Amino acid sequence: IWINEGFATYTDYLATDYIADDKYALIWKTNGQNYIMTEPDGSIYVPPEDVVYNNVDRIFDSRLSYWKGAIVIHMIRFELQNDELFFQVLQNFQLQFADSTASTPDFIALLNETSGKDFTLFFDQWYYGEGYPIYDFSYKQENGTFELYSSQSASYPEVTPFYRMHFPVILYFKDGTDSTLIFEQTDPENIFTAPISKLIDSLQVDPDLWVLKKVESLIGIEENVLEQTLHVYPNPIQNFLFIENSNNDPLEVEINDLKGNTIFNSKLRQRNSSINLSNFKAGIYLVNFKTDKNNLVKKIIKL
């Protein structure tokens, strides 16, 4: 039934996306996902024991056969990451089974053949399985590296305890630009990293609702801005320590020896500054950089 009704429901989304605009298409997906997640269980697949004369409501379940079927088709589109290929799959399916009947295994076989990918696990999770994944995220940015911690649980772990899946993350930078990353959840807990030099202002996990999921929490761990904006060189040092501060905040610099004695203290208000260390004894020093919001300590070696 889902092949008929799920695909029909998805064409309603395609029409909404084409005729209206992105806003209404997103409302369509939001309503669909929220409806699916009103219950923690339920599969698109209808077990043989449920196919009985007086069980029409299960076979034609709008939450599962219609809406979850449509959302899963949309997820296939996301997994392929190729709209031309996705619509080729649909066209091939229609042509091959025109004026006849087709089952879910028929569709899986055609999808695998046309795409060159194996969707067996995908259907085990999303078609035969029950429920949906629940996520908790936290992230931080340090030393030009973005780190995302992802923890996944399941709404109905008795049947489907884990979903191996991809999901998109959009990073919004302080300069007004953004970037989309796609990660694959391979275990209940994953840590993803990516080299990101731009300062991240915020992020969203799948704001366009490509995948079915519930996000319980998204926590940003406050990064030390000085790690991103301060460039101190050279190290080791012969005479001058150069400081480049791309942040406009006034910067206090304090240099201490390893005994805790303060050797130098000054406030720097220029973006580019230098400190003459030619009279310092050879050895190791700790440089403490301070602003009103952040504090950063670096170790330097004077030759």
pLDDT of residue 270: 83
Domains of the chain as residue ranges with CATH:
2-126 (1.10.390.10), 133-223 (2.60.40.1840), 226-302 (2.60.40.3080)
pLDDT of residue 205: 97
Q: Copy the structure tokens of residue 232.
A: 């101190």
Per-residue pLDDT of the chain (303 residues; tens, 9 = 90+): 899 999 999 999 999 999 988 899 999 999 999 999 999 999 999 988 887 777 788 889 999 999 999 999 999 999 999 999 999 999 999 999 999 999 999 999 999 999 999 999 999 999 999 999 999 999 988 878 999 999 999 999 999 999 999 999 999 998 899 999 999 999 999 999 999 988 888 899 999 999 999 999 898 865 566 777 888 999 999 999 999 988 777 889 999 988 888 899 999 888 889 999 999 999 999 998 888 767 788 889 999
**Cis peptide, bond prior to residue 236, ω within 30 of zero:** yes
Q: Copy the structure tokens of residue 114.
A: 């046309």
The three-class DSSP label of residue 247 is coil
Give the Cβ contact number of residue 259 at 10 Å: 5
pLDDT of residue 223: 57
The string over 243-256, giving b where at least 16 C-beta atoms fall within 10 Å of a residue's C-beta and e elsewhere, is bebebeeebebebb
